[in-house]
Chain A
Amino acid sequence: MTAVLQTAALAVGYGAGPVVSDVSLSVASGSLWAVLGPNGSGKSTLLRTILGLLRPLRGEVSLFGTPLARWDRRTLARRVAWVPQAFDLDAGFTGLELVLMGRAPHQGGWGLPGPRDLAVARAALAELGVSHLAGRVVSQLSGGERRLLLVARALAQEPALLLLDEPTAFLDLQHQAQVLDRVRSRVRGGLAAIAVLHDPNLAAAFTDSALLLRDGGVLGQGPSSELLEADRLGHLYGLGLAEARTETGHRLFAPRGTP
């Protein structure tokens, strides 16, 4: 089976020198990855490089067995979707209009939605429980509601690989769990997803594999169930962590106190 995403000795950054080097990753369909690491460790930069928004400084990225450089934007957009970290839209589109933009790579150049596009967009809104935002103007919504619409847009794009940059930022606890739960059920259906997360508890609860980034390199990668433990995460974030298990078997991590 070809990996959906494969990187070899990848170094990413903005020209002044790599932010992260030596990322060799193989993501298969049907798997949900967490990317964890302190602020500035290059998590978003890695996602943006995989998406082709940044050139790799060194190493290789291939998607579905084809080198990244050989993909044209439109074809790539039919296979890979991105939920950006920052979202600052002033333009006044409605929720449904925004989600329909996820259909753009599948439509003709002029983007007139067909019945299937509308059905897919509405299903994505319903999947995230935000159908009531369809007619609302996005610029008047809360940060969390916008985030849910962006995830809905990415799902409406019907990708094979989904890149989520802090999908849980701005979300309340219920919606954090809801978004990751929805993504995970899509992953059970064959999607590959990589999510930048800041909460190791969410990563432990929802993801299959994890990539830990620190100090310009990879601190560890592998199955979340083995990789995510208190000592390693404590090293990752530079503070002492305590680990506990709930009665359902979930691992929980909490700071021991001021480092």
Chain B
Amino acid sequence: MAIALPGQRAARRGGLRRLARRKSTVAFLLALPLILLIASLVVYPALFSLHLATLNKSMEHFVGLGNFEFLFKRELFWMVVKQSCIFAITAVIFKAFTGFVLAHFVHNIPTKKQRKWRGMLLIPWVIPPAMSTLAWFWLFDPSYSAFNWILRAVHIGDVNWLGEPNWARASVILVNVWYGAPFFLIMYLAALKSVPEQLYEAAAIDGANWWQKIWYVTLPMMRNIISITVLFSLIVTFANFDIVRILTAGGPIDQTHIFATWAFKLGIEGNDIPLGASVSLFMFPILGVAAWFILRDISQRGNEA
């Protein structure tokens, strides 16, 4: 029976409250640099970008949605939208698929050997993309392509890797897949390992073959990680700059331009900052929609589980 003296109780309550307040203040202070960083160098510029997009080219007058009107009328703008989406979606699908398949292969070999193979396969992701894209650029070069050398040797003939629009798009996607697949490999491999072996054995007893096992056991167990990696990769791929810039600079005839490279061309090279800002801003709603869908999917399943 705790009949505390009024003073004591008050003191304890006061003490607890003080402790709680102190804790939350400390917590806030610890997170403050993060908040400041994001507020000043991410949120503020993003909002400023909205403001920039409403100005005219010399940034002296307010033109409201004039820049967006201008863009919507241009055939090239819609082409860039289409190209960006095709690029991002195709590349992510290939990356995820490659990563998934490779994860299975690595999983199938003895655990001791896995480390070595995994190490070799992650290398593309570790090399700075600007550097490796230079190598690809030379491999695709019109006059000196080493790939064409091989193709000529087996009598297939040259491929116009960077000069023919569809090949150029394929090349850009190829380089992006080369660069990004290892990330998926690592993530999926880790996730694979955490799928309990008993589930596979149970499925085997039920007479499942290999692809049924994947469909009914592996994929459901890995749903969350697949969603997160696909979302993350969609965002990063959609906003890609380095690869297209170095490989094709948007050519030929603007057929490989994506938002980032086109914004760069218009805004910085063309000296039209507001127009460049408008183009970049277009990425945001598309990304936002994608993010919302996938995050909703994750949290829904989180609630089910």
Partners in one complex: no
Chain B interface residues (CB < 8 Å from chain A): none
